């Protein structure tokens, strides 16, 4: 396909670096946007999601916007019940994950961006896994347990609203666990269930390339897709819709790429 102009927020983070690496290798033109410089990328902006002028300038001429910048979930499990579940809801999650997501969708709308990928999480359906109901289908209603996941449910809803109102294609990407540091690698190593939601950086990068290159004419206005590597034991998330809509099939399984 013709090279796409892609803006990635959170480009310096774990998943951002995986997306940058694969999309640049595929020949696309990638612009990073992050609080810190993006390693290995020629073109990036050091900026904050709250700076709407900077975001709007970054989105000029963009074909696909991949929104990854957020306050991620770094709480250790098991954790308490909301509101004491380890997330700083009012000071971090609301301004960064909810207001920040709104600014990103506004920048996409203002600049006529045709396709937007929003980083959601498999945690939006944790309630089913707790109840032993698996594999979870992408079509089931969300069932979050924690405040972080609730901000991603709101982001999905915002994406759906913008898709239907403004004619852009929006995919909420319900990501599995791509560990950010050695501590998270150790947590997954100790938990067979977590190994089944593992997402390798290589599979993450390949998913973003598939989603960027998927024919927009064949996509619904809004879709929520699960993305994990191949489970070792139990299939927790049904990946059928992910394969059907964007053609992504995972290649790795735990622990491939966990340390990279
Ligand atoms: N890694 C996972 O296992 C996982 C799983 C599910 C969902 N997610 C989601 O995927 C996305 C990326 O996660 P990650 O693991 O790469 O996290 P990360 O912390 O490694 O990267 C996030 C990046 O976003 C940047 N950022 C944060 N706030 C920003 C702001 N206001 N303005 C500009 N940049 C900002 C940070 O500097 C960082 O580089 C997040 O939305 C996260 O919630 C991650």
Q: Whose CA is closest to atom 39 on ligand 1?
A: 13
CA angle 211, 161, 98 (to 5 degrees): 85
pLDDT given for residue 76 in this prediction: 66
pLDDT given for residue 71 in this prediction: 94
Confidence bin at 87 (pLDDT 50/70/90): confident
pLDDT given for residue 178 in this prediction: 97
Q: Is 7 strand, coil or helix? A: strand
Instruction: Determine the Cα–Cα distance for residues 152 and 226; give it in Å rounded to an integer.
Output: 13
Is the separation of the CB atoms in 66 and 58 below 8 Å?
no
For the chain, what are the domain ranges?
5-246
- 120-135 pLDDT, tens digit per residue, is 999 999 999 999 999 9
Measured from CB, residues less than 6 Å from any atom of ligand 1 are 10, 12-16, 34-36, 48-49, 68-70, 72, 96, 100, 119, 121, 175, 177-178, 180
Is the separation of the CB atoms in 6 and 31 below 8 Å?
yes
| pLDDT for 171 beyond 80 | yes
Confidence bin at 78 (pLDDT 50/70/90): low
| pLDDT for 85 beyond 70 | yes
Is the separation of the CB atoms in 11 and 33 below 8 Å?
yes
Q: What is the 3-state secondary structure (H, E, C) of 59-89?
A: CCCCCEEEECCCCCCCCCCCCCCCCCCCCCH
Own/partner contacts of 14-19, CB < 8 Å, gap of 24 or more, are: 14/178, 14/179, 14/180, 14/201, 15/68, 15/119, 15/175, 15/178, 15/201, 15/204, 16/68, 16/69, 17/201, 18/178, 18/201, 18/202, 18/204, 18/205, 18/208, 19/66, 19/68, 19/204, 19/205, 19/208
Short-list 178, 159, 247, CA closest to 209: 247
- 13-24 pLDDT, tens digit per residue, is 999 999 999 999
User: What is the 72 CA–ligand 1 centroid distance (Å)?
Assistant: 5
| pLDDT for 217 beyond 90 | yes
User: What is the 109 CA–ligand 1 centroid distance (Å)?
Assistant: 22
| pLDDT for 83 beyond 90 | no
Confidence bin at 99 (pLDDT 50/70/90): very high
Is the separation of the CB atoms in 47 and 55 below 8 Å?
yes
| pLDDT for 77 beyond 70 | no
pLDDT given for residue 199 in this prediction: 98
| pLDDT for 79 beyond 80 | no
| pLDDT for 159 beyond 70 | yes
pLDDT given for residue 160 in this prediction: 98
pLDDT given for residue 75 in this prediction: 72
- 31-71 pLDDT, tens digit per residue, is 999 999 999 999 999 999 999 999 999 999 999 999 999 99
| pLDDT for 119 beyond 70 | yes
Q: What is the DSSP string of 100-152?
A: HHHHHHHHHHHTT--EEEEEEEGGGGHHHHHTT--SBPTTSPP---SHHHHHH
Instruction: Determine the Cα–Cα distance for residues 80 and 90; give it in Å rounded to an integer.
Output: 17
| CATH number listed for the domain at residues 5-246 | 3.40.50.720
pLDDT given for residue 49 in this prediction: 98
pLDDT given for residue 100 in this prediction: 98
Instruction: Determine the Cα–Cα distance for residues 120 and 140; give it in Å rounded to an integer.
Output: 15
User: What is the 110 CA–ligand 1 centroid distance (Å)?
Assistant: 24
Instruction: Determine the Cα–Cα distance for residues 74 and 83; give it in Å rounded to an integer.
Output: 15
Q: What percent of the chain has pLDDT over 90?
A: 91
The overall average pLDDT reported for the chain is 96
Q: What percent of the chain has pLDDT over 70?
A: 99
Short-list 187, 184, 194, 200, CA closest to 236: 194
> Mean pLDDT over residues 229-233, rounded?
97
């Amino acid at each position: 396909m013709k090279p796409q102009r892609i803006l990635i927020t959170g480009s310096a983070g774990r998943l951002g670096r995986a997306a940058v690496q694969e999309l640049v290798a595929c020949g696309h033109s990638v612009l990073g946007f992050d609080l810190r410089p993006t390693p290995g990328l020629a073109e990036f902006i050091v900026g904050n999601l709250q700076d709407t002028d900077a975001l709007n300038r970054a989105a000029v001429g963009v074909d696909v916007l991949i929104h990854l910048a957020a306050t991620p979930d770094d709480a250790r499990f098991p954790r308490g019940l909301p509101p004491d579940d380890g997330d700083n809801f009012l000071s971090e999650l609301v301004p960064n994950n909810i207001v920040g997501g709104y600014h990103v969708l506004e920048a996409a709308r203002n600049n006529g961006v045709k396709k937007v990928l929003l980083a959601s999480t498999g945690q939006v359906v944790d309630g089913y896994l707790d109840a032993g109901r698996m594999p979870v289908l992408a079509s089931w209603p969300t069932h979050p347990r924690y405040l972080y996941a609730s901000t991603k449910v709101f982001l999905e809803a915002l994406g759906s609203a913008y898709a239907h109102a403004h004619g852009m294609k929006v995919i909420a990407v319900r990501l599995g666990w791509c560990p950010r540091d050695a501590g998270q690698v150790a947590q997954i190593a100790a938990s067979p269930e977590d190994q089944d939601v593992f997402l390798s950086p290589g599979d993450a990068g390949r998913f973003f390339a598939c989603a960027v290159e998927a024919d927009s004419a064949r996509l619904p206005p809004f879709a929520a897709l699960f993305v994990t590597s191949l489970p070792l034991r139990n299939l927790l998330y049904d990946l059928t819709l992910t394969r059907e809509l964007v053609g992504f099939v995972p290649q790795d399984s735990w622990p491939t790429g966990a340390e990279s």
